[in-house]
Amino acid sequence: MKIINLMVFCVSCIFATISAASGIDSLKSFVAKTHSAQANFTQEVVDQSGKKIQSASGVMQFQRPGKFRWAYQKPYEQIIVGDGVKFWLYDVDLNQVTVKKLDAALGSNPAALLSGSNEIERGFALQDDGNQDGLDWLQATPKGSDTSFDKIRMGFNAQAELVAMELNDAFGHKTVLRFSNMQHNPKFSAQQFHFTPPKGADVIGE
């Protein structure tokens, strides 16, 4: 009986090790097989004490390299677009557009980060972060100081599908993104990632 228990324990350890070591492999598989994607998302921001200070939801789309569109629908309408050259952020309520070069946004924004070809591997040190809630996690720590986040975690399911992201900033805030109804490699029109500031909108930046 003791031998059986020991065998069960050893097998459990082996499977735990395999699971814990698969976060980076899941990321590489996701990047390799997903050239475009669309998913619903929820976003929550919590402070150092774990209190929720912001929540939002919407639809995200991306197409590599460098093209994305995140449409925030609740509680306020906001559109983030990357057209491959520039990064646009449109606040509908304020009728205000912020624009900057796309490469300045890579690494500091999850929308830009997901649409890059290998930005997360190039700009971050990766390590596996175990299995939690049925997801294989990896932790990404920025190699430079030009990012908005101290640490990023990404969680993948057994099919190497991105399910969650956690982004920790220097102020102790954590942004939690959850993805659902992920569609892999949908075809988008060229206009999907094109943005023209609405007439009368204040445009800030380049």
> Would you list the domain boundaries of the chain?
22-205
Tokens matching residue 77: 């309408």
Confidence category of residue 117, pLDDT binned at 50, 70, 90? low
**Predicted local confidence at residue 180, as pLDDT:** 97
Tokens encoding 201: 């909108």
pLDDT tens track for 2-49: 333 333 333 333 333 333 447 999 998 998 899 999 999 999 999 988
Task: State the pTM of this model.
Answer: 0.82
Beta-bridge partner residues of 12: none
- Overall residue count recorded for the chain in this entry: 206
| Tokens encoding 160 | 């190497």
Residue type, 197: P
How far is the first Cα of the chain from the last one, in angstroms, to the nearest whole number? 71
The pLDDT value given to residue 182: 94
pLDDT value of position 53: 92
Domain 22-205 carries which CATH code? 2.50.20.10
Query: Positive or negative, the Cα torsion across 13, 161, 109, 76?
Result: negative
Q: What are 12's two structure tokens?
A: 């459990």
Most confident of 103-117, 119-133, 189-203: 189-203
